[in-house]
Amino acid sequence: METTFAPSTPSVDLVKKYNVPVPRYTSYPTVPFWGNELPKEADWQRVLLNTFEATNQQEGISLYVHLPFCESLCTYCGCNKRITKNHGVEPIYLKAVLQEWDKYKALLPEKPVIREIHLGGGTPTFFSPENLRYLINGLLAGAEVHPHHEFSFEGHPNNTTYEHLQALYEVGFRRVSYGVQDLSEKVQRAINRLQPLENLVRATEDARRIGYTSVNYDLIYGLPFQTTQSIEDTFRQVITLKPDRIAYYSYAHVPWKEKSQRAYSEADLPTDAYKLSLYQLGQQMLLEAGYQDVGMDHFAFPEEELCVAQRQARLHRNFMGYTTTQSQLMIGLGVSAISDLYRGYIQNVKTVEEYYALLAMGEWPLLKGTLLSETDVCMRRHILDIACQGRTGWSQSPELSLLQEKVWPALEELAADGLIDLQSESLQLTAVGHRFLRSVCAAFDLYLVGAQKEPSAKPMFSKAV
């Protein structure tokens, strides 16, 4: 069953009510609710091995590699990064990543089958083509590659060269995601990310010339000094280039966490209502250009694999965002990387120095994590179904009792506001509800509900709109 949504304009009252801090749900429970403890080594390894043994031969496993280095600081960025122009850090860091991967391979009972690799950052194309090829060859040594593998990386249009694209293509990469954000020079100056349009054109054409089958652009609305005119200009130019996928994210303004975001004032940011109008303008232009609205802030052409996966009810979401494969085990490598063990999560330490030191001592470079209860697994299923398919259902009596006790009042309120069509054993997003998808997911977030009863000085998440 396919779920599609026509653009819908929510009322001012709905925007005011639901534009509150909520997670993006790349995990459940979300990271702030894990606490600061690390599960016992025997426990998280048992969970990892159980998931590996259940999925390795059929689905394969995913690898996420965090490459944190950037030459300059983009002030809007909330990622874990290290700013440096010293490229001598490259071989040292990659050697440590492969050392960490060796620890996992020694733990696994059989040769891992690699279904996905994603290089994120930071700026993965900070690293030279030769060093990226060295990294991938090291990851694949002693492993098998799944026949339907998907390898992807994040590239900066300014420094992604033909040689970068060629080197990664030769080791199996077919998807590239370029951080575009906005094409207005005034906005780019405000966020310290000057990148001329010609660099984006070159990087896109190079990828297609080499043979990449999917080019994605990341765009952001709600940045300082954005206007309807600047958004219209950006999307007109972007649509001309016809990227296969577009992620159109809400800017997460969290200056209490990211000091760089204090480079501009609140007065430079659009109001909530104006910010929503920026999204709706971009959305309308994309739909008119033939893109389809997919999940949470994503767009793709109907024949693109993201849309195909949604139609076939196999779209998935994890720390890499939306993915078309169903691998239940994702191992995160590198500083701050998170591993999704299906019934648990573990996260690496957040500084390069700690990461190196722990590996040098033969230790796992882990910071914290959590193991999931049966209730967590149940709620995560509903959140993923809503985020990926726009609907969810329940029929088992124990689950129904839990939902009636913990979730039902919130669902009834969402239904009364016209965000969902609520039935006795299912719900479906409405066109208006699709715009508040994160808020609908939040109805199943028992941790967030509990936290909302205890006022905090600072919100843990960015706003929904």
Average pLDDT, the chain: 92
pLDDT at 137 over 90: yes
Using one digit for the tens of pLDDT, what is the confidence trace for 432-443? 998 889 999 999
Interatomic CA distance for residues 132 and 91, integer angstroms: 10
355 annotated to a ligand binding site:
no
380 annotated to a ligand binding site:
no
Using one digit for the tens of pLDDT, what is the confidence trace for 331-380? 999 999 999 999 999 999 999 999 999 999 999 999 999 999 999 999 99
User: In this predicted model, which residue has the larger pLDDT, 48 or 251?
Assistant: 48
33-333 under CATH 3.40.50.300, yes or no: no
Cβ proximity of 287 and 236 under 8 Å? no
Using one digit for the tens of pLDDT, what is the confidence trace for 68-120? 999 999 998 888 999 999 999 999 999 999 999 999 999 999 999 999 999 99
Cβ proximity of 72 and 126 under 8 Å? no
271 annotated to a ligand binding site:
no
Q: What is the mean pLDDT of residues 146-163?
A: 97
Interatomic CA distance for residues 66 and 281, integer angstroms: 33
Percent of the chain with pLDDT over 70: 95
Give the count of alpha carbons within 13 A of 93, CB side only. Answer: 25
User: For position 309, what pLDDT does the model report?
Assistant: 92
How many residues comprise the chain? Answer: 465
221 annotated to a ligand binding site:
no
Sign of torsion over alpha carbons 120, 122, 127, 129? positive
74 annotated to a ligand binding site:
yes
Reply yes or no: is the peptide bond before residue 122 cis, omega within 30 of 0. Answer: yes
383 annotated to a ligand binding site:
no
Report residue 2's pLDDT band, with 50, 70 and 90 as the boundaries. Answer: very low
388 annotated to a ligand binding site:
no
- DSSP helix/strand/coil, 362: coil
Q: Which residue ranges make up each domain of the chain?
A: 33-333, 373-465
312: CB partners within 8 A, 6+ apart: none
CATH class, 373-465 region:
mainly alpha
Cβ proximity of 152 and 176 under 8 Å? yes
Give the count of alpha carbons within 13 A of 268, CB side only. Answer: 16
pLDDT at 1 over 70: no
93 annotated to a ligand binding site:
no
117 annotated to a ligand binding site:
no
- DSSP helix/strand/coil, 292: strand
76 annotated to a ligand binding site:
yes
Using one digit for the tens of pLDDT, what is the confidence trace for 219-247? 999 999 999 999 999 999 999 999 999 99
155 annotated to a ligand binding site:
no
123 annotated to a ligand binding site:
yes
252 annotated to a ligand binding site:
yes
Report residue 54's pLDDT band, with 50, 70 and 90 as the boundaries. Answer: very high
